Amino acid sequence: MIVLEVGYNFQFRSHPELVQTEFVTRDGVRDLVQVCRAHGARVIPQFNCLGHQSWRHTLYPLLTEYRELEEPPDDAPDQRWTGGRSWCPLHPQVNEIVFALMDELIEAFDADAFHVGMDEVLVIAGRKCPRCRDRTPAEVFARAVNDYHRHLVEEKKLTMLMWGARRDATERILGHLSTTWVLEPGGFARALLGEQDSLLVSPRARDAAAACRAALAEPLR
Ligand SMILES: [Zn+2]
């Protein structure tokens, strides 16, 4: 099973204003899914929901185009929030937009499952947010999880995935994902196949492949 973090790097028709500079086309997705299926791999699209709406001072398209959807951060002396702004899950307009993006990805990937991300939500239930300030982070987070579950599982009949801390694994966890976070094209796959050309395989790809191999060799007990 391969989970692809797509985010805003897709040729969205419903919201072309939210397409990032580099994006994959519908034909590109179709070809990729065909190749994966031909090799027995299930492909699941991922769209980071709630958090991770920015990275290293770059604000992603949703909050750039719709400033009113941002969860206002509390004053944070360490400015950590600059790496992970959030949308406000209680804003009355946010789900209409996000669900349209989800639906397009589901269709393009012909997906039977969807990964909503939701790790590292650093800004949530902000004290400056008129909708969230009287609620706990847990309440706001649970509201978001249930909203996405209602759309993806109850309405679309898909399986919904989200990140969890392994550290808190219970007997109910069915498996795990190995993450790569490798940017160069094909670098992780090359490393996994044992290639060592430093021009094509970065140290990060090599380390990610080693971790993946170890995880495959020793599944959850
Ligand atoms: Zn809010």
Q: Determine the distance separating the centroid of ligand 1 and the alpha carbon of 126, expressed in angstroms.
A: 6
Alpha-carbon gap, residue 17 to 15, rounded angstroms: 5
Q: Are 214 and 180 in contact (CB under 8 A)?
A: no
Q: Which of 148, 163, 178 is the last residue of a domain?
A: 163
pLDDT at 185: 75
- 130 and 206 assigned to the same domain: no
Using alpha carbons, list the distances in angstroms from residue 106 to 95, 100, 177.
Answer: 16, 10, 20
Asked if residue 140 lies in contact with residue 130, where contact means CB atoms within 8 angstroms, the answer is no
Task: Give dist(CA 52, CA 117) in Å, integer.
Answer: 9
Tokens 């902000």 correspond to 126
Sign of the dihedral through C-alpha 87, 80, 58, 64 = positive
Task: Going from the first residue of the chain to its last (221 residues), give the mean pLDDT of each consecutive group of 10, the final group possibly shorter.
Answer: 94 97 94 96 97 88 96 70 84 98 98 96 93 97 98 98 84 81 85 91 93 79 51
pLDDT of residue 216: 81
Quote the pLDDT of residue 71. 94
Distance from Cα 144 to the centre of ligand 1, integer Å = 11
Q: What is the pLDDT of residue 181?
A: 83
Query: Same domain, yes or no, for 159 and 199?
Result: no
Task: Give the model's pLDDT for residue 74.
Answer: 82
Residues 207 and 120 in one domain: no
Question: CATH code at 38?
Answer: 3.20.20.80
Residues 99 and 192 in one domain: no
- Between the CA of 79 and the centroid of ligand 1 the distance, in Å, is 19
- Global pTM reads 0.91
Under DSSP, the state recorded for 71 is P
**Ligand 1 centre from 50 Cα, in Å?**
10
DSSP 155: I
**Terminal-to-terminal C-alpha distance of the chain:** 20
Give which of 44, 63, 18, 19 is closest to 117, Cα–Cα. Answer: 44
- Based on the fold, state whether residues 159 and 172 are members of the same structural domain: no
Shared-domain flag, residues 63 and 133: yes
- Structural domain boundaries enclosing 220: 168-221
**Cα(76) to centroid of ligand 1, in Å?**
17
Q: Please, what sign has the CA dihedral across residues 49, 95, 133, 166? A: negative
- The residue out of 118, 141, 163 marking a domain boundary is 163
Give residue 29's pLDDT.
Answer: 97
Q: Which pLDDT belongs to residue 220?
A: 54
The 10 Å Cβ neighbour count of residue 195 is: 15
Neighbours of ion ligand 1 (CB under 5 A): 71, 88, 90, 129, 131-132
Q: How far is the CA of 197 from the centre of ligand 1 (A)?
A: 47
The per-residue pLDDT for 219 is 62
Contacts of 166 (CB under 8 A, 6+ apart): 176
Sheet holding 2-5, edge to edge: 2-5, 43-46, 113-115, 159-161
pLDDT, residue 145, reads 98
Report CA(114)–ligand 1 centroid distance (Å).
24
The H or E element spanning position 115 is: strand 113-115
User: Which pLDDT does position 193 carry in this prediction?
Assistant: 93
Q: What is the pLDDT of residue 215?
A: 82
CA torsion 165-177-181-184 (nearest 10°) is 180
How many Å apart are CA 127 and CA 136, to the nearest integer? 10
Tell me, in angstroms, the distance from the centre of ligand 1 to residue 81's CA. Answer: 15
191-199 long-range CB contacts below 8 Å, 24 or more apart?
none
Q: From the CA of 71, how far away is ligand 1's center (Å)?
A: 5
DSSP 150: I
